[in-house]
Amino acid sequence: RVDQLQIHSIDGLKGHKSQRLAHLTLGYITMAYVWNQGDKDVREVLPKNIAVPYCELSEKLGLPPILVYADCVLANWKKKDPSGPMTYENMDVLFWFPGGDCCKGFFLVSLLVEIAAASAIKVIPDLFKAVKNEDQNALQKALRYIASSLKQARKEFEKMHKYVDPNTFYNVLRIYLSGWKNSSKLPKGLKYEGFSDTPREYAGGSAAQSSIFQCFDVLLGIQQKSGEESAARFLQEMRKYMPPAHREFLLSLESGPSVREFVLSKGDIELQADYNECVKAMVSLRNYHLEIVSKYIVRPSCQ
């Protein structure tokens, strides 16, 4: 059916929302076409009727022509009752892969984690203002709000166990999220017919493409330890898969005042405790993510 589709112009996509929805749609079609029936009969060439509008739209949006986290998590949802709350029970995904409710669970729980953590973004101006004015009380209030939001995100993450089956995720859904960079199935990458003569390599969707967690790394001055340069390089690489506005936001935070240096300079035990609570909440969230990776990828791969 993909081979029979007509080439559609992207000129009719007016507005950011419709363009992002089209990027999500073309991303789903592309992943399903390339990986076909679960990585059997893998396609090395994306036909021009999909490749041309997908690449043109991707350039317009500043995103790569592959399904990214900003597509399948941030843009792939709707409310069942438009006037109701953004809860799992009142939400659904727009597009599905094979795997049934596992697909819905994986994307919606990831979104709920994002929503919980993102609530802390609104206090960032207060945080910077407090550092600039050397207002410890305002800074502590902002830090406590951030720590609370990150702890709520960790709590939302626990729903993954309820809604996502490890074997279904590993053996079915995971395959359709795979990319064509360092891929044994597509060692040269994917050729986008009608747009590029040489195959291109892109990484698959990953939580590392989430801007919210890199946001708090930057804000709190959290850096990779020496000897972990590859992890730092990987996180920088993943920024290329974020919407341009998200990348610019991270750069703007990097140019802001250092919260960590301010806290250290004051030598105030209570202030340091509030800062450390934010760092602990980030560590807890990251460690929990590692547990999820172990349960849903590492252990099933050994069976």
Q: Which two tokens stand for residue 101?
A: 């409710």
pLDDT of amino acid 303: 75
CATH number, position 198: 1.20.58.480
Residue 62 has pLDDT above 90, yes or no: yes
pLDDT of amino acid 130: 96
Domain that holds residue 28: 2-302
pLDDT of amino acid 223: 80
Domain count, the chain: 1
Tens of pLDDT, residue by residue over 130-169, are: 999 999 999 999 999 999 999 999 999 999 999 999 999 9
How does the average pLDDT of the chain come out, rounded? 93
Residue 225 has pLDDT above 70, yes or no: no
Q: Is 289 annotated as contributing to ligand binding? A: yes
Confidence of residue 301 (pLDDT cuts 50, 70, 90): confident
CB 68 within 8 A of CB 204: no
pLDDT of amino acid 97: 93
DSSP 93-121: -SS--SSTHHHHHHHHHHHHHHHHHHGGG
CB 74 within 8 A of CB 3: no
- Overall pTM > 0.95: no
Average pLDDT over residues 238-256: 96
Average pLDDT over residues 30-40: 86
